[in-house]
Amino acid sequence: MRERSGWNRSRRCRHYRSCARVPPSWSGKGALAHHMNIASSPGSTDEVLADAVTDQESIVALTQQLVQIPSQAGIDPYEPILNYLESWLVDHGLNPRRMHAANPDGIGVETVALACDLDGGHPGPRYVLDACVDTAPFGDLDAWRHPPTSGVIDSGWLHGRGSADSKVGAAIFAHIATRLWQQLPQLHGSLTLLLDADEHTGQFGGAKRYFAGPGAPGDVAGVMIGYPGLDKVVIGGRGFLRAQVTLYGEADHSGSSRPETNNAVERAAAWVEDLTQRRRPQLPAADKTFGPPPKLTVTAIHGGHAYSTLPDCCTVNVDVRLTPTFDRQAAVDLLEEAARDFDRRWPAPRPTRLDYLESWPPYRLSKRLPLCAALTEAAASYLPNAPRMKVAGPSNIGNYLAQLGIPATAGFGVVYRGLHGTDESINLDSIPVVQAVYQRAVRALLTGH
C-alpha cells in the first residue's frame, strides 16, 4: 500500500530497526546506525558527533515544545513561539535580539525573527544558520493520525505540523549555537543564528529584515538553511515570476435577450486554455547544466459575483518558474504576446492587463564554493555516500539572497515524511548526524579545520 507522501509502508531500513519506514529518496540507508555505534563506542574521538548524540534528547524536547505551539503562517500570532525560543536561548547563555518589520497592513510593527550573533575571537567571515519557525496550515484536522500540535512520538517518529519544516532545524541550529558559544576564542569570524517567523507567508519577512533591513551585516559569506532531507544538498533553485492577469468583458444581465455577450469569465477560461495548451509546450527544455526546466502554472481564477450578472472582469494568477535559459524577460514576453494575440482574436472593451508582482531570479552555486564544499565534506564524514548537490524545482530564500550576492544552501536535514501535508513527521534517529554535519561544517569554515 502506497501512502500519500510517496513512501511504501513495507520499505524499511534493513540496518537499523528504529529507522522504521524510510522515504525511497533517502540514499543514506544504514548510515545512522553505523555512526551512532561509532559515537557510543569506547574510545570514540569524534567530539562533534559525541556532542550531537548528547544533544539529541534536548533537541527532541525543544522540537516537541515548538510543534506544540501553533504558528501557522498568516493564521497564528508569531509572539508565542518567538517568546519561547527567546527564553530558551537566554537560558542557554545566548543573547538573541528581535527583528521587527512593518505589519502587512502598514499599521504598526511586529517581530518577524530572532537573530543571535556569536562573534569569534579573531576576524573573519560571517556565516548564518537560518531556519523558519512558522508553518504551513494544518489542513483537514480529521485527516491527521495525531493532532498537528501534538508532538507525539510514535515508533521513532515525531509528529506534528512544522516538525520537518523547519522546527527541528531551528532546534538543531540552536544547539549548534550553544556548542560554538563555548568555542568563541578559537573562531575566525562570526556565526549568526536566524529564526524566521515569516517564511511560509511567502514574505520572508525575517530574512529580508536581517539581510537587507536597517543595520544589515555586510560580511555574510554564506547561509545554510535548515530544510529537511538527508539525501541532498540544495545549491540552487528555479526563480519565479508572479503575474496577475485581468481580462475584461461587458456587464449585463444573465437573462438578457442580446444574442451575443462578452463574458469576462468565459474570456478568462479561453485565455487559460490558450496559455496552457498552446504557449506552455513552447517553453524550452531543461538545461543540463542547471537542472529542472522552466514551468508555467495557472494557480487561481477569480471573477463573477451573482448568478444574474455577467462579469465584466476576471483575474487569473500565473506562476512562472524561471531558469537561466528562460528568465524574467522571456516570461514577460510570453505572457504579453499571449494577451495581445488573444485580444486580437476575441476583442473586449479594454485590453487585457498584466500586473507583475514579485520575481526572483534562478540561482546555482558552484560546487567548489567553500560553503558547499564544507557541507558536503562534513556529510561525507558521516554518511556512506555524500549527499548529491542539486538545483531544486521550488524557489527558496536562497534565490532572494542570490540577488544580494550572498550564497545559500538549502535542504540538508532530517529524514521526514508528509512535508506540508497530513501527518507531517520526522525520524528522530536522523537528528544526531544532521547536527554533526552542520556543526562540523561551521567549524571548518570558521577555524579552517
The bridge status of strand 313-322 relative to strand 239-248 is: antiparallel
Closest residue by Cα to residue 233 from 426, 387, 374, 31: 387
Give the 3-state secondary structure of residue 149: coil
Handedness of CA 414, 420, 421, 425 (dihedral sign): positive
Who contacts 279 (Cβ-Cβ below 8 Å, separation ≥6)?
296, 334, 338
C-alpha cell at 297: 502554472
Pairing of strands 188-196, 313-322: unpaired
The CA angle 436-437-442, to the nearest 5 degrees, is 100
DSSP conformation class of 183: T
Q: What is the pLDDT of residue 367?
A: 92
The answer to whether residues 306 and 265 touch, using CB atoms and an 8 Å cutoff, is no
Check residue 17 and give its pLDDT: 28
Q: What is the pLDDT along the chain (449 residues), one digit of tens a residue?
A: 333 333 233 333 333 223 333 444 343 344 455 444 444 444 456 899 999 999 999 999 999 999 999 999 999 999 999 999 999 999 999 999 999 988 777 778 899 999 999 999 999 999 999 999 999 999 999 999 999 999 999 999 999 999 999 999 999 999 999 999 999 999 999 999 999 999 998 888 999 999 999 999 999 999 999 999 998 899 999 999 999 999 999 998 888 887 777 999 999 999 999 999 988 998 999 988 999 999 999 999 999 988 999 899 999 999 999 999 999 999 999 999 999 999 999 999 999 999 999 899 999 999 999 999 999 999 998 998 888 999 998 888 899 999 999 999 998 999 999 999 999 999 999 999 999 999 999 999 999 87
Query: Which residues in 180-208 are b (16+ Cβ under 10 Å) and which e?
Result: bbeeeeebebbbbbbbbbbbbeebbbbbb
CA distance 270 to 346: 10
Spatial CA neighbour of 387 closest among 11, 13, 17, 27: 27
- Reference 432, options 167, 168, 182; nearest CA is 168
Which grid cell is 131? 531556519
Neighbours of 367 (CB within 10 A): 11
Task: Give the distance, in angstroms, between the CA of residue 8 and the centroid of all CA atoms in the same chain.
Answer: 25
Considering only the C-alpha atoms of the chain, give the largest distance between any 2 of them, rounded to a whole number of Å: 91
Cα three-residue angle 205-137-407, rounded to 5 degrees: 35
Q: Which of 188, 52, 65 is nearest to 125 (CA)?
A: 188
Q: How many CB atoms lie within 10 A of CB 251?
A: 16
pTM: 0.84
Sheet (strand 153-154) strand order = 153-154, 157-159, 425-427, 416-417
Could you tell me where the DSSP H helices lie in 69-204?
79-91, 168-181
Buried b (16+ CB within 10 A) or exposed e, 215-247: eeeeebbbbbbbbbbbbbbbbbbbbbbbbebbb
CA distances to 202, 238, 312 from 331, rounded to whole Å, are 21, 13, 27
| CA–CA distance, 75 with 89 (Å, rounded to integer) | 25
Instruction: Identify the structural domains of the chain with CATH numbers, from first to last.
Output: 17-237+363-447 (3.40.630.10), 239-360 (3.30.70.360)
**pLDDT of res. 32:** 53
Beta-bridged to residue 417, according to DSSP, are: 425
Nearest to 81 by CA among 106, 58, 64: 64
